[in-house]
Amino acid sequence: MTLLNSFAQCAPLGRGEDETLSRWSAPPALLLAAVLAAWAFLGCGQQQGSPASAAPEDLETEETLGEAAPRRVLAVTDSAGREVEVSVPVERAVVLTGRAAEVIRAIGYDESPTGAIKASNGLDLTELKDLDLVGQDDNQIMMQWAMEAFSNPEVVTNSIRYINNHNMFSNAFLNDFRRFNITLLRELNLMPLVSRALNPQTDGAAIQRGNTYTYKTEHYLMATAQNHNPGEFSDQQYVFHATLHPLVTVFHQHPGSALGEGALSGSPGYWVGYGRFPHSVQEGSVNLTIYVLPERKGFMEEKIYDFTHAYFPTHLFDSYDIEGNYAFGRKGKTYVALIARNDLHFAQDDGDPSNTSTYDLIQEGQQVFWVTEVSSEEEDGSYEEFVERIKDSPVRFDEGSLTLYYHSNDELTLTYKGDFKVNGEAMELQYSRMDSPYALVEREPETIEIQFDGHRLHLDFYNMERTM
């Protein structure tokens, strides 16, 4: 999964008793740590002064550590409203020891405010050809299909040729391509035209470049995949979330299908991914998002739902308020506000007022916006003062130009499929590989250097070396 897909970890668990817990999405520091740790420890290069790969005794798993594994105790409210304590492993999969882990470990445990962290992950499909990654060689098809790109115009001809050459049409997952395996279409390279004309929903599965912006303080974390394919199909990606507490996350979404057997029953689903991507951007602790939903469903699309909804877990807040098109919540000393274009209401099972959701916050409409702002007692004083400031902050939506204006600490303007401006200046949303307090790395680097808290890790990918 890319960082985009990692946002899916924030989805609610479902409508059963476990719905009181929302999944903690790790800060980008931890995501960065996981990627780098994989390279640094799983035999990918030689560490200076040590063997090429770690010996088994150098790695300690939860099974070998047992109760000695580092754990954190968290206060949780269960479905009956009772406060209970749960013990959660701090390092869930593997606790790594040795010098190479120190900078990764230090970043993972860093709870200091870091401000904005920018990163760029993955490739767009339009980049593959120039990088010689479209073809029939193993490395080419593995790159294309690892991106889950099968039917998109840039790769559809290559997909069908590979499936045909390797007699893979009997595969249940690939069987639908049989109907397009027409020699004339292949030889005249007409499949990209067919793909563009049909625009199948399966195109949304492609995991393309994500330019992520994360704002982190000691009280909260907000992250957005900036300007990611607005209006296009989606599958399992998420482009925005705000985390107020390890067990309290807020996000919004356009359903791709009805709620089936649990919240994670399909993709795109009621909580998983999007029916259509919104145009979502962030500056500091404020996210602006515009949804424009079409009237007609696309090819292979089940249905177009004419509403969006937010995961707003009131049962996990210490206090909350829903007032027309405003929603406010407080968890400890951390605050969140949602501003919608239309009035908000909680979902009801079969329209039964006695069975109203405590987290599924609905906004009806096909051209709508969501403004999300997070703050804290340190920044805004009391919760009541935060609520009043948000209510006093001008917000306006121009339906003709599909432009959203919001003036909080900064004057923010977003035009759907257009510019995002901060105080009148258009923002550049194509980022370098890493731009953070831990590493400054250009895109497609030959080496990566990470430094933090007196520790250092240098990765040389082309020479397969790592030094500290």
- Mean pLDDT, rounded, for 332-358: 89
pLDDT at position 115 is 86
Say if residues 275 and 268 touch (Cβ distance below 8 Å): yes
Residue 208 phi/psi, 5-degree rounding, is -105, 180
Say if residues 443 and 432 touch (Cβ distance below 8 Å): yes
pLDDT at position 82 is 60
Among the residue ranges 112-121, 257-266, 426-435, the one predicted with the least confidence is 257-266
pLDDT at position 182 is 82
**Range among 72-81, 207-216, 297-306 with highest mean pLDDT value:** 207-216
pLDDT at position 84 is 65
> Considering the chain, what percentage of its residues have pLDDT values greater than 70?
76
pLDDT > 90? residue 303: no
Kindly report the number of other CB atoms within 10 A of residue 21's CB atom: 19
- Mean pLDDT, rounded, for 173-197: 84
pLDDT at position 108 is 84
pTM above 0.85, yes or no: no
pLDDT at position 49 is 32
30-85 pLDDT tens trace: 444 333 333 333 333 333 333 333 333 333 334 444 455 556 565 555 545 566 66
Query: pLDDT averaged over the chain?
Result: 82
